[in-house]
C-alpha cells in the first residue's frame, strides 16, 4: 500500500484496551503532534515510564514526551472536569501541561453534568438490556452534538454571558425530560454556570482552532500521530451496533474528527492484543467464559482503566481483526501483550465463522451474536517473554504465533509488546524508524 504522508495513525482493531498508550508513547518520539480525534474520557491509555505508571483518559499519550504538542481535536467529547484533574495529576508528578504542549479544539463537544446523569439513568432503566457504558456521558454528549440545539462546544465556555443563557435553556429541557422519564431531581443551573465559567477561564489559554493548526502541519509535512480511542469493533458505524461507543473510532474517523484531509491519515498501525478482551455487553464469539478466560484476565490484569470492571476474555479472533484491519487500511500490526500467553500448553486462534452450519464468507458485525468460531490450534510456550528485546529472543512457538498472525491478517507485524515497560517493545517488520530500538 502506498503511503506518501509522514503521519502515523494508531487505532485499536478489537474492542479497545489493546495497549494503545504504550505504542503511541513509543511512536510519538518522532512526531511533533499527537492528536486524539474520537471518544472522550471513556478511554483509558496506560503509559509506563521507568517505575512510573500514568493512566490517561483524555490527555493524549504524547504528553510524556518533551516537545510534543498534544491536541484534543473537534471529534472528541471533552470532559473538562476529567481533563483538569488529569492536568493537575500530571503537574503533581512533574509533567507541566499548558498551551505549549496541549491544545483543545474550540469545536470539540463539552461533556456537561447532564450527560453523565443521563448515561447512568438510562442504563439503570434499561436493566438487563443495557449497553454497559463507562457512564462517562459519552453517548448523551454525542446525541446532543447531533441534535445541535442542546450542545455546548468548548469555545462557548469562554463567553460567560452567552454560556449562562445557554446553560439555563438546556438545563430547563434536561430537568423536564429527566423528571418525566426517570423521576430525577432538578439540576442546579446556577451552580453549573459558575463551575463551567470558571473552567472556561482555566482552559482558555489552551483553546485553539486545532483544525487550522493541523492542516498547516499537513501542508508543511510536519509529522503528526493520530491516537485512536477504543477499538474498531466499538465504532459507531462499523462495530457491533448497538453495543458500540458513539463516535467513529476506526482510521476512517481521523479526517472528520481532526479536520484534516483523508490523505493525512498516513501509515496506519493497527493495534491488536494477542488475545481478545471486551468490557460491557454485546457479542464476543471467541469469549472463554471459563478457566482459560480467567487465566487471561489474571495474567493480563484485564480490569478497566476507566471503570475497574473485570474484562471478558477469550482467544484472538483473527477473522474479526482482519475485517477491522481492512476497514482502517492498516499497513502494519502492533501485536500487544504477547507475554500474557506464556504458560498455555496450546493456543487457539479464530480463523473464521460458521453460521447455520455454513462457512461465513464476508465478516458482518451484525451477525456476531449468532456465529460459531472455527479455530486453528497452535503450540504454546512456557518461557517468560518480558525480557525479550529482539524477535530472535522469543521461543520458536512464540515466533510461530506471530507468523500465524501475519498470515491470517495479511499484513506484517511491525511491533511486538512483551511487557508493560516502555522498553518491552520489539521492533519486527516495521518500516517506522527509531522505535523500540
Q: How far is the CB of 83 from ligand IMP (least distance, A)?
A: 16
Q: How far is CA 114 from CA 5, 7, 28, 158, 200, in A?
A: 41, 37, 35, 20, 18
Residue nearest to ligand IMP (CB): 280
| Region class of 414: left (phi > 0), else alpha (psi between -120 and 50), else beta | alpha
| Contact set for ligand IMP, span 212-271 (CB under 6 A) | 229-230, 234, 243, 245-246
Integer Cα distance of 332 and 271 in angstroms: 9
d(CA 131, CA 128): 9
With CB under 6 A as the contact rule, the residue among 8, 13, 17, 233 that binds ligand IMP is: 17
CB of residue 249 to ligand IMP, shortest distance in Å: 9
Rounded distance between C-alpha atoms, residue 261 and residue 372, angstroms: 39
In the residue annotation, 79 being an active-site residue is answered as no
Name the active-site residue from 25, 45, 144, 339.
Answer: 45
| Residue from the set 279, 334, 398, 426 that interacts with ligand IMP by CB under 6 A | 279
**What's the rounded Cα separation, in Å, for the pair 354 and 340?**
28
The region of 11-19, 198-206, 341-349, 411-419 touching ligand IMP under the rule CB under 6 A is 11-19
Which residue number, 249 or 264, has a Cβ lying nearer to ligand IMP?
249
Shortest Cβ 16–ligand IMP spacing (Å): 3
Q: What letters, b where the CB count within 10 A reaches 16 and e where it falls short, cover 119-141?
A: bbbbbeeeeeeebebbbbbbbbb
- Closest distance to ligand IMP from the beta carbon of 381 (Å): 28
Candidates 41-49, 99-107, 287-295, 382-390; binding stretch for ligand IMP (CB under 6 A):
41-49
Using the contact rule CB under 6 A, the part of the chain among 9-17, 108-116, 251-259, 344-352 near ligand IMP is 9-17
Q: Which of 133, 210, 240, 286 binds ligand IMP (CB under 6 A)?
A: 133
Residue 71 vs 244, nearer CB to ligand IMP: 244
By beta-carbon proximity to ligand IMP, the closer residue of 305 and 400 is 305
Classify residue 287 by its DSSP letter.
B
DSSP annotation of 207 reads E
**Total of residues contacting ligand IMP (CB under 6 A):** 21
CB of 427 to ligand IMP, least distance (A): 26
Tell me, yes or no, if 144 is annotated catalytic. no
CA 396 to chain centre: 32
CB of 434 to ligand IMP, least distance (A): 28
Q: For strands 358-359 and 346-355, give the pairing.
A: antiparallel
Residue closer to ligand IMP (CB basis): 126 or 403: 126
C-alpha dist (Å) from residue 79 to 42, 59, 95, 115, 274: 10, 11, 20, 10, 32
> Does 132 help bind ligand IMP (rule: CB under 6 A)?
yes
Nearer residue to ligand IMP within complex by CB, 286 or 342? 286
Give Rg (Cα) of the chain. Answer: 22
Identify which of residues 74 and 245 has a Cβ nearer to ligand IMP in the complex.
245
Catalytically annotated residue among 17, 25, 235, 317: 17
Q: How far is the CB of 14 from ligand IMP (least distance, A)?
A: 9
**HSE (side-chain half, CA atoms, 13 Å) at 268:** 26
Chain Cα centroid distance, residue 81: 19
Evaluate whether 86 touches 54 at the Cβ level (below 8 Å). no
Distance from chain centroid for Cα 186: 33
Closest separation in Å from C-beta 170 to ligand IMP: 20
Please select the residue that binds ligand IMP; options are 8, 69, 71, 138, rule is CB under 6 A.
138
Q: Measured over all CA atoms, what is the biggest interatomic distance in the chain, rounded to whole angstroms?
A: 66
Instruction: Out of 7, 42, 61, 210, point to the residue binding ligand IMP (CB under 6 A).
Output: 42
User: How far is CA 261 from its chain centroid?
Assistant: 21
Cα–Cα distance between 430 and 321 in angstroms, integer? 19
Q: What is the rounded CA–CA span in Å between residue 153 and residue 211?
A: 15
Which amino acids are annotated catalytic?
A: 17, 45
Q: Which residues contact ligand IMP by CB under 6 A?
A: 15-17, 42-44, 131-134, 136, 138-139, 229-230, 234, 243, 245-246, 279-280
Amino acid at each position: 500500500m502506498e503511503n506518501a504522508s509522514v503521519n502515523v495513525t494508531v487505532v485499536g482493531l478489537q474492542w479497545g484496551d489493546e495497549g494503545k498508550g504504550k505504542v503511541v508513547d513509543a511512536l510519538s518520539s518522532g512526531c511533533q503532534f499527537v492528536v486524539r480525534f474520537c471518544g472522550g474520557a471513556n478511554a483509558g491509555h496506560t503509559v509506563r515510564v521507568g517505575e512510573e505508571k500514568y493512566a490517561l483518559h483524555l490527555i493524549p499519550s504524547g504528553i510524556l514526551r518533551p516537545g510534543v504538542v498534544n491536541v484534543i481535536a473537534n471529534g472528541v467529547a471533552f470532559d473538562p472536569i476529567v481533563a483538569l484533574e488529569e492536568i493537575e495529576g500530571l503537574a503533581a508528578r512533574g509533567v507541566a501541561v499548558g498551551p505549549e504542549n496541549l491544545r483543545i479544539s474550540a469545536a470539540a463537544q463539552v461533556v456537561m453534568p447532564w450527560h453523565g446523569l443521563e448515561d447512568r439513568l438510562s442504563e439503570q432503566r434499561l436493566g438487563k438490556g443495557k449497553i454497559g457504558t463507562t457512564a462517562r456521558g459519552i453517548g448523551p454528549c454525542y446525541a446532543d452534538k447531533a441534535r445541535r440545539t442542546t450542545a455546548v462546544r468548548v469555545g462557548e465556555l469562554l463567553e460567560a454571558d452567552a454560556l449562562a443563557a445557554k446553560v439555563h435553556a438546556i438545563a430547563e429541557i434536561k430537568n423536564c425530560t429527566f423528571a418525566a422519564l426517570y423521576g430525577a431531581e432538578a439540576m442546579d443551573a446556577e451552580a453549573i454556570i459558575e463551575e463551567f465559567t470558571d473552567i472556561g477561564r482555566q482552559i482558555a489559554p489552551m483553546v485553539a482552532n486545532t483544525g487550522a493548526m493541523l492542516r498547516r502541519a499537513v501542508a508543511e509535512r510536519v509529522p503528526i500521530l493520530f491516537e485512536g480511542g477504543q477499538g474498531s469493533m466499538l465504532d459507531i458505524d462499523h462495530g457491533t451496533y448497538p453495543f458500540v461507543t458513539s463516535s467513529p473510532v476506526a482510521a476512517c474517523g481521523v479526517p472528520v474528527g481532526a479536520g484534516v484531509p483523508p490523505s493525512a491519515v498516513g501509515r496506519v498501525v493497527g493495534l491488536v492484543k494477542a488475545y481478545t478482551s471486551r468490557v460491557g455487553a454485546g457479542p464476543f464469539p471467541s469469549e472463554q467464559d471459563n478457566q482459560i478466560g480467567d487465566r487471561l484476565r489474571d495474567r493480563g490484569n484485564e480490569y478497566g482503566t476507566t471503570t475497574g470492571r473485570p474484562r471478558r476474555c477469550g482467544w484472538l479472533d483473527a477473522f474479526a481483526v482482519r475485517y477491522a484491519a481492512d476497514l482502517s487500511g492498516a499497513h502494519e500490526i502492533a501485536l500487544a501483550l504477547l507475554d500474557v500467553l506464556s504458560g498455555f500448553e496450546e493456543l487457539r486462534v479464530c480463523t473464521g465463522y460458521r453460521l447455520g452450519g455454513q462457512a461465513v464468507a464476508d465478516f458482518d458485525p451484525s451477525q456476531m451474536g449468532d456465529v460459531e468460531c472455527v479455530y486453528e490450534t497452535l503450540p504454546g510456550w512456557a518461557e517468560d517473554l518480558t525480557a525479550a528485546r529482539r524477535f530472535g529472543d522469543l521461543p520458536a512457538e512464540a515466533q510461530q504465533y506471530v507468523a500465524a498472525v501475519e498470515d491470517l491478517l495479511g499484513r506484517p507485524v511491525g511491533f511486538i509488546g512483551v511487557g508493560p515497560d516502555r522498553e518491552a517493545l520489539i521492533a519486527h517488520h516495521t518500516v517506522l524508524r527509531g522505535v523500540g530500538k
